[in-house]
Amino acid sequence: EPEVTQTPSHQVTQMGQEVILRCVPISNHLYFYWYRQILGQKVEFLVSFYNNEISEKSEIFDDQFSVERPDGSNFTLKIRSTKLEDSAMYFCASRARTRLTDTQYFGPGTRLTVL
Amino acid sequence: GENVEQHPSTLSVQEGDSAVIKCTYSDSASNYFPWYKQELGKRPQLIIDIRSNVGEKKDQRIAVTLNKTAKHFSLHITETQPEDSAVYFCAASRNAGNMLTFGGGTRLMVKP
C-alpha cells in the first residue's frame, strides 16, 4: 500500500538556522498538508496546499514558514529562521482528489529539535 | 475557530472489555469527524470516520457515534485486545478536505 514518506526522520539545528523538511505524498494525491505536534500537546494544523497554492493556513504559519512543491513528487516545508519553540514533530499528509475518499494519510513525521 | 476537547487523556482497560473515548467540538459547521490511531513511534492512521449526515458508523469492533445537537462524538472499541494499545486522536473539520482540528489524544492501555 502506498504511503507518505518524510525525510529526515530527525533534524537537529541551531536557533536562527533555516531548515527544509521534505515529504513525498502518495503519488495520485493532489491535496497536501503540514501539521505539527509539540511534545505533549495537540496535533496542530499549519497549512494546506492544492493546485500549487496555499488553500488554508493557521496563525502559526507566519512569514517564517513557506511551502513548495518543487517538482512532481516532493512537498517541502521551510522554516527560515528557526526558534526554540519550533521544536516539534512535523507531519505531512496527503489526500486524493476524489469525493469517494476523505482520508488524509499521514507521513511518519520529522522530529525537529532546535538548540 | 474550531476547538476539540477529548476525554479521557488516559484509559486503562482489561483485555476483552470495552473502551469509550469522547470528544466535543465547538464549530457547528464542522461536518467531518475522523479518528486516528497512533502507535508508539509510528504515523497516525485513520481507523474510522463519520460525516454529519450519519449518527453512527461501525466497522467490526470499532464504532463511532455522533450527536450533532450536543456537538459531541465518541469512539467505541469492543472486545479490546493488547494490540489496541495506542494513542487515539479525534478530529473535526468543516469539510473532508479542509484542515483537521485535533483533540488532545487518549492513551489507551489494554492489559492482558
CA distance A79 to A84: 12
Q: For every one of its 112 residues, what pLDDT tens digit does chain B have, with 9 covering 90 and above?
A: 899 999 999 999 999 999 999 999 999 999 999 999 999 888 899 999 998 888 999 999 999 999 999 999 999 999 999 999 999 999 999 876 789 999 999 999 999 9
Q: Is the dihedral of CA A89, A61, B34, A68 positive or negative?
A: negative
Q: Count interface pairs A-B at CB distance under 8 A.
A: 52
Residue with cell 502518495: A26
Task: Tell me what pLDDT residue A101 has.
Answer: 67
The secondary element (H helix, E strand) that includes residue A101 is none
Strands A88-96 and A29-37, bridge-based pairing:
antiparallel
Average pLDDT over all residues of chain A: 92
Here the cell at position B89 is 486522536
Task: Tell me what pLDDT residue B1 has.
Answer: 84
Nearest CA-CA distance, residue B104 and chain A, Å: 5
Reduced to 3 states, what is the DSSP secondary structure of residue B64?
strand
CA distance A51 to A30: 7
Comparing CA positions, the residue from A20, A32, A44 lying closest to residue A93 is: A32
> Are residues B93 and B99 in contact, defined by beta-carbon separation less than 8 angstroms?
yes
Task: Tell me what pLDDT residue A80 has.
Answer: 96
CA distance A4 to A48: 15
Task: Tell me what pLDDT residue B96 has.
Answer: 65
B97: nearest CB among A4, A58, A95? A95
* Contacts B9 to A, Cβ<8 Å: none
Task: Tell me what pLDDT residue A99 has.
Answer: 61
Q: Which residue of B has its CA nearest to A32?
A: B97
Strand partners, B46: B36
pLDDT tens figures, A66-110: 999 988 789 999 999 999 999 999 999 999 876 666 789 999 999
- Flag whether residue B44 sits within 8 Å of chain A, measured between CB atoms: yes
Is it the case that residue A49 has pLDDT exceeding 70?
A: yes
The more confident residue out of A4 and A41 is: A4
